[in-house]
Structure 1
Amino acid sequence: MIEVYTDGASSGNPGKSGAGVYIKAHGKIYEYSIPLGELSNHEAEFQAVLKALEICLEQFPDEILSFRSDSQIVTSVLENDYTKNSKFLPFLEKIREVTSAFPYFFIKWIPEKQNHHADRLARAALHKKHTGKEG
């Protein structure tokens, strides 16, 4: 099982955004700090999950994924597989599509203090240049 911690950060709402992805897999740690461009904080949180899923598709196909996020909105939408918010629906649909490639996908809400690795990576992404290739 692959443990994945995600976090999104925005400087302004919306504003310059970044995603942090911290992965524990097979006794190793993988860290990603990804600039996202201009997004709201919630959009950055969803994008962080999507970026993590893309990484897992490439590096850990066919693995069981256990995600953790400190975003109650993201975890609620994904656990319930439902949202009324039209801005979040495209994220839900894309995440639903990507997770179907894995045998199991779980997501769990965790307190911010337990997500400090992903938070640090997301904040670092705010200082990187967005190339348009990510996000």
Structure 2
Amino acid sequence: MIEVYTDGASSGDPGLSGAGIYIKAHGKKYEYSFPIGVLSNHEAEFAAVIRALEICRDSFPNEILSFRSDSKLVVDVIEKDFTKNEKFLPLIEKIREEKSHFPYFFIKWIPEKKNSNADKLARKAIYM
């Protein structure tokens, strides 16, 4: 099972944003920071999940994925597979598409203090 920690950060809301992804897989750790343009904080959180799924599709195909995020909104929307927010509809559709490439996909909310690696990577990406 691959453990994936994601976080999105924005300098302003909306503002310059970054995605941070921290992956534990097969005894190794992988870190990614991506500038993702001008987004709201919530959109940055969704973008981080999407980018992490794309990385996993390329690097860990057909693995079981266990995602962790400190965004309750993102976790709830993904778990329920539903949102009324029109801005989030294309994001959840992309997540549906990406997670369909894996036999099992789980997502769990974690407190911010347990997501510090992904948070650090997301904040770093804002200034890249």
User: Residue type of the partner of 2:114?
Assistant: Q
Unaligned ranges ≥5, structure 1: 129-135
Equivalent residue letter for 2:31: E
Q: Name the Cα RMSD after superposition.
A: 0.4
Q: 1:1-135 maps to which residues of 2 (within 5 A)?
A: 1-128=1-128
Per-residue deviation at 1:87?
0.6
TM-score of the two chains, using structure 2 as the length reference = 0.99
Identical columns (%): 73
Cα offset, 1:4, TM superposition:
0.1
> Which secondary structure does the structure 2 equivalent of 1:61 belong to?
coil
Normalised to the residue count of structure 1, the TM-score between the two structures is: 0.94
Structure 2: distance between partners of 1:93 and 1:127: 28
- Aligned amino acid, residue 83 of structure 1: T
Secondary structure at the aligned position of 1:119 is classed as: helix
Rounded to whole Å, the distance in 1 between the matches of 2:64 and 2:23 is 13
Q: Alignment partner of 1:101: what SS?
A: coil
Secondary structure, counterpart of 2:17 in structure 1: strand
Q: Which runs of 5+ in 2 are unaligned?
A: none
User: Deviation of residue 48 (structure 1)?
Assistant: 0.2
Match in the other structure for 1:131: none
Q: Could you give the per-residue CA deviations for residues 4-28 of structure 1, whole angstroms, max 9, x where no partner exists?
A: 0000000000000000000000000
Q: Which amino acid aligns with 1:79?
A: E
Deviation of 1:117 (Å): 0.2
